[in-house]
Structure 1
């Protein structure tokens, strides 16, 4: 290949090229805004200079303990300051942070600790019981146990005893607050390990890079028009896709991390009032909880709060309820494999001129690619060609760009399948509208095939949410001797509501074709993951025994 004038003497060097890493965000925040508040938790208030020093101390202590590049440091923590600090301190050593789902059982946690080869694990006392059981599983297998650091929390009200070798504050006190950490040798170096839910078989370990974390952290700012010094409330679990990369986003804007140990409506509203919270993220169930909270809880909030929702599309009742509270809701979409959100339903000015029902229809779409994601498309997985933008032809949502995982840890086969033909395959079935917006119709495994007809569970759920008594809804396939499968609706009711199954069916008849109407309706609490996602695999087990309704 002939040399170009643009390849002669124009090489990368330390003056013109630095690896992209979110570690640069905290250094800048501490340098430019040292006295701005960074972390609030109960009576604890620390500024960015103090937070930066603590992260460097933490990193130094890990290094003194032998942690090095590509080691794994696990954490089993709620949304407390140590969890925020870990998102900077662990990468400062070159190691990889593995934030464990706090609602998992001992067997699942033991698998993750073994599979990820964790060398150190930080444990909040609330989870010492399940972690003791997980460590016992590793001990029984004659495996080397990770070094355990207990993380005391001023707001912990339980009586669990510590199980570690040292307490967190004592551990980091042994470190150097001026620890001379380095940016990664390569921006493709791994920064985090996150495990998928593992509804079938063992969970898969999703690996993030410094480059991807940096990219999505900035993209979060762009999608939300996030100003300097936002006050961000940690409603979303930090273990979930590393809080959708928002620990790094908040640092980039020199904002405030308001930690929230326990998620309930009263705690959230109190924090919003007291700290003038400007932004938070959460699953649909959290937003529904706030909307349906008593009015007296909502008093005294006189500023606009920006809320981000992912998971199920926000129904009209949610959008209307959030607007009444003065909350501005943004709908995003993504997966663990895309660092959290990688698509956003960008709102247009003229949408505010239509009624709430039409606004809900527009906002219910998963939207368009994130600013810094290269592509989000709906593609026929057989032909790998984009489907027509007609709002009807279904294909699979696929992503391409920097906001996609490196791959699955120790699982080359699954990685190759996920990236087949140069795209990340989400497994979500969707349509593309003429305006370029994507809308999910279902997960490929959640489509209900009744008498040869495909039924979107999401379409039926959207209708159920329009019923005034419905707080949460999920629809799965129920085996049927005649039709093969029929829809079965599981419903959580609002307080004081008491509809009959037949009333729910009659409501559905007004909005759905006959074959799409649920043939069974079950009232009760719906099982959910720690991030508020409905566990449909559990509901499928229950659907077979649900009583059929004469439709």
Structure 2
């Protein structure tokens, strides 16, 4: 790699007569290098403060890229931008990615942003029909893929005629025919900054909704939105540190195609810190990484995985996680005992923070169990308190007429600088989402007497059974406390008597047994009669995307369960 000093000598200074506008006070556009907001500038800016500090580490891809300094990452991102332009792509062209976590994949995203293009990363676990829909929607001009994942997407890409320009050599897979290994693709390109006009309101990424209720939509993400989301989360990730640049974040959840890339990797980087981008999320791998990288922050994902992780840490006393200062979680309430067990390993100052947001607006609510300990101890894990909106987020809870409601469930709505401009090529869904001057989340939330919010359910997942509304998340939380249950998903299925019958889909823990009647009895002892499942279906796996169950697929697969007269 060229030194940071050599790189800077290749950058031409701005022209002194650049047409400065010193009279217009409204409607300005900051597009020049010295003033613009561009997510592609993240490593270039860091190269002026911490050029030789390690910014990214990983455990997949080619070995020479598994640890990069800020300067090295910036140079590689420049080469990605030049490689795309050399193949005829223009600003605003979409670049499809079918990749899991790797340093090469993350740097590719930055390079696409530098080029003024739009990255369209796709969930590697999606079914072929969904992938086909996303390719047709986004119309990518090129694709970058992981070698080991190519077989999953080959037919879709080949049918669409999308050229694969580079293959990231992961998992022992081979280079896609007629493409280049990623290292060769970028290797001959210049390391200088591409000359592209970029504005903070330009879209740099299309992130696809999780598709838990229907086909995914393409959420447009701007440079400005990502930067504000990152700075917002940087505050939480750096708590407890003497210097914010000491943050060392470990994350194994997919950051290439999930909205978590906005607050987490970028949040740590914009504090001047380091990110370990792991791949293949298992408790042993995460525990080893926390120890080996002396991590200060962890995005653990679900409370269920947090429980698995602390069990792993307890089984391996040689793992030292005393450097850990903050654990961020979501998708459910954290069991108080899990926090206590983590603190026994990492120290009593370890702070947990629950976040609640979505792809369209990821500035997030926050709930600190340590700030509201009485509420947490009295309600978790049955009730998922999500706390209060970030100070950067205006959020109300409203009824169907858009009026504020308290003391009963309503829909949580948002206003924020961290907000999508809309759904790409879907004006109807965009108008519906932004009706009344707020973004409508589709989440049902209650506000308690203290002003704290707790999540009731996704509106589309509420089960309407016998004239009662049943929160599927509440039933799931109860069933998940059964010692034999690893995971539970609750759905409503057509029923001749109840309209919809509360139905539990359950994965048992390895080596454990339980009958349908045992699960139903367990639930009945803890829930109202109308909340108790009418049936339990045992499965080995559920369709999911980034930790979220695709309930619409379960409803399709099990729609005839009660047709045979089952009560």
Give me the TM-score of the superposition, normalised by structure 1.
Answer: 0.87
Indicate yes or no: 2:516 matched with 1:516: no
| Aligned-residue offset at 1:210 | 1.0
Matches of residues 333-372 of structure 1 in structure 2 within 5 Å?
333-338=356-361, 340=362, 342-349=364-371, 351=373, 354=374, 357-358=377-378, 360=380, 364-372=384-392
The separation in 2 between residues aligned to 1:119 and 1:179, in whole angstroms, is 22
| Aligned-residue offset at 1:182 | 4.8
| Aligned-residue offset at 1:360 | 2.5
User: Which position in structure 2 is the counterpart of 1:248?
Assistant: 266
| Aligned-residue offset at 1:106 | 3.2
User: Which position in structure 1 is the counterpart of 2:51?
Assistant: 34
Indicate yes or no: 2:128 matched with 1:106: yes
Kept in 1, the 8 Å contact 2:543–2:553? The answer is no
User: Which position in structure 2 is the counterpart of 1:142?
Assistant: none
Indicate yes or no: 2:231 matched with 1:218: yes
- Bigger shift: residues 79-88 or 521-530: 521-530
Kept in 2, the 8 Å contact 1:315–1:462? The answer is no
Kept in 1, the 8 Å contact 2:287–2:319? The answer is no
Change beyond 3 A, Cα 1:34–1:318 = same
Kept in 1, the 8 Å contact 2:94–2:138? The answer is yes
The separation in 2 between residues aligned to 1:368 and 1:289, in whole angstroms, is 28
Which of 52, 55, 67 aligns to 2:74? It is 52
User: Which position in structure 2 is the counterpart of 1:94?
Assistant: 116
Matches of residues 46-85 of structure 1 in structure 2 within 5 Å?
46-85=68-107
- Bigger shift: residues 340-349 or 398-407: 340-349
Indicate yes or no: 2:120 matched with 1:120: no
The separation in 2 between residues aligned to 1:538 and 1:71, in whole angstroms, is 32
The separation in 1 between residues aligned to 2:191 and 2:463, in whole angstroms, is 57
Change beyond 3 A, Cα 1:448–1:324 = farther
Indicate yes or no: 2:273 matched with 1:258: no
| Aligned-residue offset at 1:94 | 0.6
Which of 171, 176, 183 aligns to 1:169? It is 183
User: Which position in structure 2 is the counterpart of 1:455?
Assistant: 470
Deviations 1:85-140 (A, max 9, x none): 0232111111111111111233332332332121121111111112321123214x
Indicate yes or no: 2:319 matched with 1:300: yes
- Bigger shift: residues 105-114 or 187-196: 105-114
| Aligned-residue offset at 1:180 | 4.0
The separation in 1 between residues aligned to 2:564 and 2:504, in whole angstroms, is 11
Indicate yes or no: 2:561 matched with 1:538: no
Change beyond 3 A, Cα 1:68–1:251 = farther
Which of 310, 315, 332 aligns to 1:312? It is 332
CA RMSD of aligned residues (A): 3.0
Kept in 2, the 8 Å contact 1:491–1:524? The answer is yes
| Aligned-residue offset at 1:71 | 1.1
Kept in 2, the 8 Å contact 1:379–1:385? The answer is yes
Change beyond 3 A, Cα 1:501–1:357 = farther
Change beyond 3 A, Cα 1:262–1:9 = closer
User: Which position in structure 2 is the counterpart of 1:3?
Assistant: none
Matches of residues 190-229 of structure 1 in structure 2 within 5 Å?
190-199=203-212, 202-226=215-239, 227-229=244-246
Matches of residues 335-414 of structure 1 in structure 2 within 5 Å?
335-338=358-361, 340=362, 342-349=364-371, 351=373, 354=374, 357-358=377-378, 360=380, 364-373=384-393, 375-381=394-400, 383-388=401-406, 390=407, 393-414=408-429
The separation in 1 between residues aligned to 2:34 and 2:83, in whole angstroms, is 29
Change beyond 3 A, Cα 1:17–1:412 = farther
| Aligned-residue offset at 1:544 | 4.2
User: Which position in structure 1 is the counterpart of 2:18?
Assistant: none
| Aligned-residue offset at 1:320 | 5.0
User: Which position in structure 2 is the counterpart of 1:283?
Assistant: 301
| Aligned-residue offset at 1:325 | 4.6
**Unpaired segments ≥5 residues, structure 1:** 1-6, 140-144
The separation in 2 between residues aligned to 1:133 and 1:361, in whole angstroms, is 43
Deviations 1:449-492 (A, max 9, x none): 22211111122122223323322222111333222223112222
| Aligned-residue offset at 1:18 | 2.9
Change beyond 3 A, Cα 1:386–1:547 = same
SS in 1 for 2:385: coil
Aligned residue pair count:
528
Indicate yes or no: 2:525 matched with 1:504: no
Give me the TM-score of the superposition, normalised by structure 2.
Answer: 0.85
User: Which position in structure 2 is the counterpart of 1:446?
Assistant: 461
Kept in 1, the 8 Å contact 2:247–2:296? The answer is yes
The separation in 2 between residues aligned to 1:90 and 1:119, in whole angstroms, is 12
Indicate yes or no: 2:352 matched with 1:329: yes
Runs of 4+, deviation exceeding 6 Å? 13-17, 546-551
Deviations 1:39-85 (A, max 9, x none): 22345322111111111122122222222221111211111011220
User: Which position in structure 1 is the counterpart of 2:35?
Assistant: 18
Kept in 2, the 8 Å contact 1:522–1:546? The answer is no
Change beyond 3 A, Cα 1:207–1:302 = closer
The separation in 1 between residues aligned to 2:496 and 2:88, in whole angstroms, is 61
SS in 2 for 1:429: strand
| Aligned-residue offset at 1:549 | 12
Change beyond 3 A, Cα 1:236–1:302 = closer
Deviations 1:237-285 (A, max 9, x none): 0111262443322321222221223222222111111111222324325
The separation in 2 between residues aligned to 1:137 and 1:349, in whole angstroms, is 53
| Aligned-residue offset at 1:198 | 3.5
Change beyond 3 A, Cα 1:256–1:489 = same
